[in-house]
Structure 1
Amino acid sequence: MATSDTSPTSRALLALAELQASPGTTAAGLAAALGVSERAARRYVAILRESGVPVTSVRGPYGGYRVGRGVRLPPLVFGPDEALGLVMAVLDGHHDVRDRADPVGSALDKLLRALPERVAAQAAVVRRSTATAPDRAAARPDPVVTTALVQACADHRPVRVRYRAESGHEWDADVDAWSVVVRHGRWYLVCRRHDGDAVRTYRVDRVLTVLTLPGTAAPAPDVDPVVLLEEHLAQGWEHDVDVLIEAAYEDVARRLPTALGRLEPVGPATTRLVATTSNPVWYAQQLAVVPVPFRVVGGPEMRACVRDVGARLVAAVDDV
């Protein structure tokens, strides 16, 4: 935790963060963590006490400094990973708060230590005794990658992302980062690719690395980021989809999720669905629930997968 900032206030706050993270640390341990002398470490503890932070000390081989409990709660000092972890936990609800190695678990430790004893005891019981049923469809992105992408969006900066598709294929893409959107437990980057000037959506949990590039990102269109995400979820992937649906455009638009692709009216009773997908098997399963007749006219992988899904459905009732 050593820092080049020599301000007594900033050092005192760093000392507070260390005491919150390691209750019972000694003056020597605190000095080592801050990269200062023991005398300086004691001075920072004194600054905290003068500011009203209840830092207690216990002598002896098992003694050390602790942030005590009181009517006035001490300020909490969160690291960047913990702060982002708490935000992500609120947004997706899929973090294991009982895991103290997780940034969310670490931040929750600090919150519990700051609460009055009776309230903290009740919260700790809930933490120990509750269990979450994880959403298997959700995927937790790397907080470091997520931070870099969110920062690039906020700063209007272009980035180079290393991406791994569902098939395992990896590639680099230079993009203008526009927004990060959470949809149904999954995190997406909405951006514009530099090659081809096309809007793309990338799963943040599949982004391996982020490199901020010089310059300024092209401005995002004046559209709700969620709407922009859903309009482009089915674009830019490996396998083509071209389907003719025997229903009027208005009926299909009302029944079909916008994330499946772009709809085009062909006639008064026919609508074309155009898209791409990285998982034609999954896409074929989505088409199986379309409640009107349709015909797959494009995409060899898509046609093969629809044929396979249809054969399995027919085989399920052949012997009845």
Structure 2
Amino acid sequence: MPKTSARLLALLSLLQARRDWPGTLLADRLDISLRTVRRDVDRLRELGYPIAAVKGPDGGYRLSAGTELPPLLFDDEQAVALTIALQVAATSSGDGLADAAARALNTIRQVMPARLRRRVEALQVTAVERPTTRSAAPVDGDVLLAISAAVHAREILRFDYDSPATDRHAPAADRAPAVDRAPRRVEPHHVVTWDGRWYLVAWDLDRAAWRTFRVDRIALRTPNGPRFTPRALPGDDVASYIIGKFRGSSGNGEGGSDGGGWPCQGTVILDRPAAAVALYTREGVVEDAGSGRCRLTLGSWSWPSLAAAIARFDADIEVVGPGELTDAFAHLAGRFTRTATAKGPPT
């Protein structure tokens, strides 16, 4: 009979492999008695694993979904901070840790209490990929959660905003006199990361224009305002807007973005996780699309070159737009077909 520690690990592994296990089958697989199975289950419960008894002719056991590691104890603030960090790392890490971060994020979400899981699921962050040369500005996790919840609920936000001249993190002697300290009223649209900083993309109700606010300069006011119907961003998606905004486009709602500086820009859905695609996308925007898929917005100097750049990810592709990108894939498909069926040079 294996030692107790090894036997407990083997039992835990079996419980993770399928939903329900009859007690007699566990005893057979581990080559132990049913009484020992019951005793080992009690030991795992003492360690914190939620193992439920299953009713039936032979009885059985079930391990609650998602418990894959010994329990870790986090308070709410730590759990939120860990979720945020893993979400960013899963979509923007370039050091080979993205896949591990994505798996860790999934594990944390599965074992998180329902009360807390509902809060963090509202926090959907888009990591806009580019080389970063500065450290991220400090952001209050509660503020980030509150903003994301307002985005999810489509509720108007009210907040005080520190302009660069009145940055509350700067020494008082270095701050310029405040010019306009009236609270902002905005329709929050999206939370993004870009170059190591967090931003809120929103429609400013008082200025009647699209604005991008640094989250570390936001001081929320409560309660939120009424619900609103979301407007269409310039360029119709947050990726186009952010790329244009930070490459010189006005981003004020008077037309679309400048295409991110590329003459051709398109969006596709790739049958690959965002974490895997973001590792090799410095000039594009990657957003998680769920079910192991991602939304990629990318630019290039021509439509065929853009199609070729997307094809390098070796995944099934669904073109979101524009039609020129679909035509470019058809063009390349014909060229590749002719190449593949052409006779080789005479020997």
The verdict on a shared fold, with TM-score over 0.5 as the criterion, is: no
TM range (shorter): 0.3 to 0.5
TM-score norm. by structure 2 comes to 0.35
**Which structure's relative contact order is higher, taking Cα pairs within 8 Å and 6+ residues apart?**
2
TM-score norm. by structure 1 comes to 0.37
